[in-house]
Amino acid sequence: MADSIAQILRRQMSEFQLIYSSDGIIKRDNQATLSKNIDNALVKVIVGVRRSGKSTLATLLLEGRTFAYANFDEKGLTGINLDELLSFLKEVYGNAKIIFLDEIQNVDRWELWVNSIKRLGYDLIITGSNANMLSKELATHLTGRYVQFEVFPFSFAEYLRLNRLDAAKLRDEGREGELKNALERYMKSGGFPELVAKNLDQSYLKTIAGDIIYKDIVLRWNVRHMSELDSVASYLASICSSEFTATKLAHSLNMKSAITAQKYCNYLHEAYLFFYLKRFSFKAKIREKAPRKVYSIDTGIISAIGTKFAPDSGRLIENLVFLQLRRMNMVENQNLFYYKDVAGKEVDFVIKEGLAVTQLIQTTYASSREEVQKREIAALLKAAKELKCDKLTIITWDYSATEKIEGHTIQFVALWGWLIQNDFAQKRLA
């Protein structure tokens, strides 16, 4: 047994060095923030959906440092006694004081072991693909002794960097058509790093979704009806950026129980495949009872596992905006919501700070002012009055302007510019 564990670790070391060579790896948007924390004494926790680049990001942070590595997304390591693992790591890596533990959620009682070896003076970086479990266990056993970061598939700015497209230069040279062409491709294919880097097709995304469902849900929760779970995932992908309830979902799929449907939805959320956004209200009862809106971790996944032949472009844009807001540290149902009044007029995103609503965002596939529907503006203006908010934004496909309407200033901004605004800001400061 000892030889087999050591052999696994040595093979993983070789594979890691081959796959995660820093040559050609692009800088991630949140890399600078993580780099500031690399030398502190806290446990560094990187969470996100499978294949989103968690290991690659950790590698970039550890470049030039000596560290031990174990990947628990392998059956041969999942049942190991973690106290024994430390001995094997020393055998393979020597007395490395930095330990990188990949997909740690696959090991029972991992949090107790992490806590114990941290007290021995080891510097730890861990990754995981289960949002709720990691947060719960970390909060229980590592209170105040860890710092957590989320990793998403590539943003549009990262997608452009990988394709060697300089957004600021293209904009300044009036070549915005190339940016919109890239955005169209990005919106349809999504941003999973390996898919983008190797120009893979949707079969790769179906494989990713299948791995998430099987490894992170079926095996973990002992789900007996995998086909039913697959149907729920496909249904949610098909209605992204729309409202839903577990009762309606169960009825649409002829499921016997809305409770089971809700359980599957929770599993899919914990595995980072879908997010559920609550309707904003100052009354908690309304927030809890109103239908949620569903968003996917990646727009490519929507096309890959959804049942629609061609997803609606307007809904894809809304999903992209949701993901970018999450990358900007907005957290659904904490400071990020959607809004619908009693007449059914809807605003896509409500941003809240403390007790105040600070921004309202509407999205549309419009390419000109004439294409922006009156009902979208009317809903925004009505919500602005009801929620006492002055910062109003409409994100379009290709229209930018500032207008004053009924005493309110509305900022219209093209999607490509809004998605990479942080990139522009960073370059101006450089």
**Arithmetic mean of pLDDT, 234-259:** 97
Would 321 be classed as within a structural domain? yes
Would 342 be classed as within a structural domain? yes
DSSP assignment of 325-384: HHHTT--BTTTEEEEE-TT--EEEEEEEETTEEEEEEEE---SSGGGS-HHHHHHHHHHH
Could you give the CA distance from residue 403 to residue 381 in angstroms, rounded to a whole number?
A: 12
**Tell me, what's the pLDDT at 84?**
87
**Tell me, what's the pLDDT at 304?**
95
Q: Which pLDDT band, with edges at 50, 70 and 90, does 64 fall under?
A: confident
Considering 136, 151, 166, which residue would you say is the last residue of a domain? 151
**Helix extents (H) in 71-119:** 75-78, 82-93, 110-119
Measured CA to CA in angstroms, residue 49 lies from 39, 56, 183, 191 at distances of 25, 13, 22, 12
Could you give the CA distance from residue 151 to residue 129 in angstroms, rounded to a whole number?
A: 10
Q: Which amino acid is at 193?
A: P
Which contacts (CB < 8 Å, 24+ apart) does range 254-260 have? 255/228, 260/228
* CATH number of the CATH domain containing 376: 3.40.1350
Q: Which pLDDT band, with edges at 50, 70 and 90, does 133 fall under?
A: low
Would 383 be classed as within a structural domain? yes
**Arithmetic mean of pLDDT, 330-351:** 96
Would 107 be classed as within a structural domain? yes
- 69: containing domain: 2-151
**Taking the CA of residue 149 as centre, how many other CA atoms within 13 Å lie in the half-sphere pointing to its CB?**
27
Q: How many domains does the chain have?
A: 2
**Arithmetic mean of pLDDT, 159-166:** 93
Could you give the CA distance from residue 176 to residue 279 in angstroms, rounded to a whole number?
A: 35
**Tell me, what's the pLDDT at 180?**
95
Would 289 be classed as within a structural domain? no
Q: For tokens 């970018």, what's the residue?
A: 324
Considering 151, 175, 207, which residue would you say is the last residue of a domain? 151
Burial of 24 (0-12, 13-18, 19+ CB in 10 A): exposed
Considering 123, 151, 179, which residue would you say is the last residue of a domain? 151
Could you give the CA distance from residue 205 to residue 63 in angstroms, rounded to a whole number?
A: 29
Q: Looking at the predicted structure, is the pLDDT value of residue 428 above 60?
A: no
Give the pairing type, strands 274-277 and 243-244. Answer: unpaired
Q: Looking at the predicted structure, is the pLDDT value of residue 21 above 50?
A: yes
Q: Looking at the predicted structure, is the pLDDT value of residue 81 above 90?
A: no
Q: Which residue has the higher pLDDT, 166 or 27?
A: 166
Would 262 be classed as within a structural domain? no
Could you give the CA distance from residue 43 to residue 123 in angstroms, rounded to a whole number?
A: 7
| Max Cα distance, the chain (Å) | 75
Measured CA to CA in angstroms, residue 18 lies from 12, 22, 330 at distances of 10, 10, 35
- What is the per-residue pLDDT across 90-127, written as a single tens digit (0 to 9) for each? 999 999 999 999 998 888 888 888 888 888 899 999 99
Structure tokens given for 258? 């809305």
- What is the per-residue pLDDT across 204-219, written as a single tens digit (0 to 9) for each? 999 999 999 999 999 9
Q: What share of the chain is helix, strand, coil (3-state, %, to 5)?
A: 50, 20, 30
Would 182 be classed as within a structural domain? no
**Tell me, what's the pLDDT at 222?**
94
Q: Which amino acid is at 90?
A: K
Any idea what DSSP says for residue 283?
A: S
Give the pairing type, strands 123-128 and 98-102. Answer: parallel
**Tell me, what's the pLDDT at 83?**
81
Residues in the chain: 430
Return mean pLDDT, the chain.
91
* CATH number of the CATH domain containing 128: 3.40.50.300
- What is the per-residue pLDDT across 217-246, written as a single tens digit (0 to 9) for each? 999 899 999 999 999 999 999 999 999 999
Structure tokens given for 346? 């809807």
Would 307 be classed as within a structural domain? no
Could you give the CA distance from residue 118 to residue 105 in angstroms, rounded to a whole number?
A: 17
